[in-house]
Amino acid sequence: MALQKNHIDRTFREKLKNFSDPAPQEVWEGVTGYLIQDRRRSRLFLFVRIAASVAVIISLGTAYLLLRNPSAINRQAGEHTSIPADTSATVPVTENRQALLSETRETKSAKKGEEFMAAKDNRTGAGNNTRQKTGTNEEIKMSMLRQAVQPEEHNTQAYDLLAVTAMREIQGITSGSAGNDRPDMDRVSILKEKPVYEIAAPSEKPDRDLIVLIDENTEANKIRSDRWAVGTQVSPVYSYRDLGSSAVKTDALSYYNTAESGMLAYAGGVNLSYLTSKRLTVQSGLYYSRMGISIEHSYASTNLGPGNIYSDAFQYSTIANSSGQIRTGSGNIESYYTSGWSGDKTEGHSMPAGETFNQLNLQFNKSEIIQNFQYLEIPVILKYKMIDRRLGFNLLGGMSTNLLLGSNAYLLNGNDKEKIGRTTDLKTVNYSSTVGMGMDYALSSRFNLSLEPFFKYYLNSINQSADIKSRPYTFGVFSGISFVF
Amino acid sequence: MFGLCQQYSNNYDDAKDILQEGFIKVFQKLRQYDGRGSFEGWIRRIMINTALERYRSETHLYPLTDRDLKKDELIYEEVFESLSARDLIRLMQELPPRYRMVFNLYAIEGYSHKEVSDMLGITVGTSKSNLSRARQILQDKVKRYYDSNEHIS
């Protein structure tokens, strides 16, 4: 009756070779239902990808169009490097409006415009000479003022006077006696060899639109010179994940949502920004982000060893979780870790009660296993400035490429943290989207502080499992400082 | 294929799950079948891989009912021969998952211990010891049934 041991193998092989059992009807119904859902998801995902592509194209196109406008202004200004021929001199200018305003305060008591101008000339040492600048910002202002108020070339003097008046309004200079807002006719007389016209009553204020035009031109100057910024940011983050599953894995999914929880981590990096227009900024950089999952219902046994008849069957642990397989060191027969305990299948997954339990001559103690995922993030973010003040407010959104750097697993035992292995079956490249808002405060003309709450969501699953899809999300608040140049 | 899934599973419900997951993958990967080898063999490999993935993703503290495993146990040839295929599948479903997986891949599918160790992420020595224990457990179960004159059906 004795047999070679391999007779068992042959017996099983031969008897099972031709064994067939009809599949239950519900299996085919499940397959059909899943394939229909999968087709719908594919269509929706295709639509989302198309919509995202359109949004990116529109954003880039808008940025390009906005970027083109400052060049147009440059070209327009370049064509008017000096005031047209009928006026051969420029209005005296000052470099610094702020300085001028301070002068204005000092000389506000001056009764006559001549005294003011003389005092000013003495300070600048320019005597009676006016500084003439061609192709300067101030000449641009003048030419734009003229263009704005008078498209025709003839009869320019009256409009030049109006422009001068508008300039003085802006610069806060009043001339003449108190209560008399008539412009200083001596200044106007620098318009050589042309009769000086009586201008309208002082009650007619300069066109405010002209002032706005000048302000915008000043802003354009600022934009042209300070477009780049480099900065650094750090943020505490809370990370968790969104799970999706195939139809047959819904019980596993509900188990993972019970057994796992989010955790606090951090992110930080350096960024480079480019101001494409007055309100739109494109930012990229390099960030290090750390996130993870806590597997709270875990159990560890450390009394495996020689003599335990099950030790050689537990040469490595596979800890069930939603992210991927946690592989501890193979050949370590002293410790064994597990997450979840599958009892009777009819009851689903059931966790042993209490802090410890015994099974198979092994003492298991309740503990916590955490998975840390480390990524190198390369973001492309668009920021739109809603409020452009010293304390500004902006909206931001964009996408990032995330490169997996590490995926270690740790056992938490009180205050001790012990590395037990790493999570495998993770994708090395993932894509995420970010939305948020931000406040920035200009410390000076070069340095800005920023505070940016954000929400980041991974667009594709980080694991390679076909059954459980894990899409992490994080939210936090970036604080940082940047240098404008 | 349902019979194959029952060989690799703990019970009837698990076998249904493996079968459903496997056929979903068959439909999703249909374009990848390039005609090399038989179509049934291609589906069979997908089913086995599905069972392997499920095995890897689940951890079971499977209580071994036979603690006194003795080596060189007498093998009851006639008893094995008298068992039906369905009886043999039930015996296999009572094996611990690790032993059952090695027995299926080595004894039924014909993979070498090196190939089995690569597929399961274990050493060759562990594969051999698991196979040996699987055979011992199967013999022990058959012996009990034989000694108690109980029929498995």
Q: Can you tell me the mean pLDDT for A39-58? A: 75
Confidence of residue A248 (pLDDT cuts 50, 70, 90): low
Tell me if A328 sits within 8 A of A316, measured CB to CB. Answer: yes
State the distance between the two ends of chain B, measured CA to CA, in whole angstroms.
21
Distance of alpha carbon A114 from alpha carbon A237, whole angstroms: 65
Write the residue in A15, A340, A467 that is nearest to B21 by C-beta.
A467
Distance of alpha carbon B77 from alpha carbon B122, whole angstroms: 31
* Contact residues on chain A for B81, CB-CB shorter than 8 A: 11
DSSP state of B107: I
* Contact residues on chain A for B117, CB-CB shorter than 8 A: none
Which pLDDT belongs to residue A2? 40
Q: Can you tell me the mean pLDDT for B6-11? A: 88
Q: Does the CB of A325 have a partner CB in chain B at under 8 Å?
A: yes
Given a cut of 50, whether residue B25 has pLDDT beyond it is yes
Q: How far is CA A292 from CA A51, A263, A470, A473, in A?
A: 30, 6, 12, 10
Most confident of A92-101, A186-195, B19-28, B62-71: B19-28
* Contact residues on chain A for B74, CB-CB shorter than 8 A: 1-2
Collapsed DSSP state (helix, strand, coil) of residue B80: helix
Tell the burial category of B46 from Cβ atoms under 10 Å away from its Cβ (0-12, 13-18, 19+). buried
Q: What pLDDT digit, counting tens, does each position of B77-135 carry?
A: 677 778 888 888 888 888 888 899 999 999 998 899 999 888 888 889 989 998 999 88
Q: What is the ipTM of this complex?
A: 0.81
Q: Does the CB of B65 have a partner CB in chain A at under 8 Å?
A: no
> Which has more pLDDT, A459 or A81?
A459
Write the residue in A19, A31, A247 that is nearest to B23 by C-beta.
A31
Q: Can you tell me the mean pLDDT for B1-13? A: 88
Contact A320 B58 (CB under 8 A): yes
Tell the burial category of A451 from Cβ atoms under 10 Å away from its Cβ (0-12, 13-18, 19+). middle
Contact B76 A345 (CB under 8 A): no
Q: Can you tell me the mean pLDDT for A29-44? A: 83
Q: Does the CB of A363 have a partner CB in chain B at under 8 Å?
A: no
In angstroms, what separates the C-alpha of B35 from chain A's closest C-alpha? Answer: 23
* Contact residues on chain A for B128, CB-CB shorter than 8 A: none
Q: Which chain A residue is nearest to residue B89, measuring alpha carbons?
A: A16
Given a cut of 50, whether residue A198 has pLDDT beyond it is no
Least confident of A75-79, A265-269, B56-60: A75-79
Contact B16 A38 (CB under 8 A): no
Which residues 97-156 of A have a C-beta within 8 angstroms of B? Answer: none
Given a cut of 80, whether residue A227 has pLDDT beyond it is yes
Confidence of residue A374 (pLDDT cuts 50, 70, 90): very high
* Contact residues on chain B for A26, CB-CB shorter than 8 A: 16
Distance of alpha carbon B153 from alpha carbon B82, whole angstroms: 11
Which residues 242-281 of A have a C-beta within 8 angstroms of B? Answer: 246-248
Q: What pLDDT digit, counting tens, does each position of A284-338 carry?
A: 999 999 998 888 766 667 665 555 555 544 445 557 678 877 777 654 455 666 6
Contact B14 A338 (CB under 8 A): no
State chain A's mean pLDDT as an integer. 68
Write the residue in B24, B56, B126 that is nearest to A312 by C-beta.
B126
Q: What pLDDT digit, counting tens, does each position of A115-131 carry?
A: 544 444 454 444 444 44
Distance of alpha carbon A176 from alpha carbon A188, whole angstroms: 13
Confidence of residue A349 (pLDDT cuts 50, 70, 90): very low
Give residue B35's identity as a one-letter amino acid code: G
pTM: 0.46
Tell me if B19 sits within 8 A of A27, measured CB to CB. Answer: yes
Cβ-Cβ contacts under 8 Å between A and B: the total is: 141
In angstroms, what separates the C-alpha of B153 from chain A's closest C-alpha? Answer: 15
Distance of alpha carbon A299 from alpha carbon B17, whole angstroms: 27
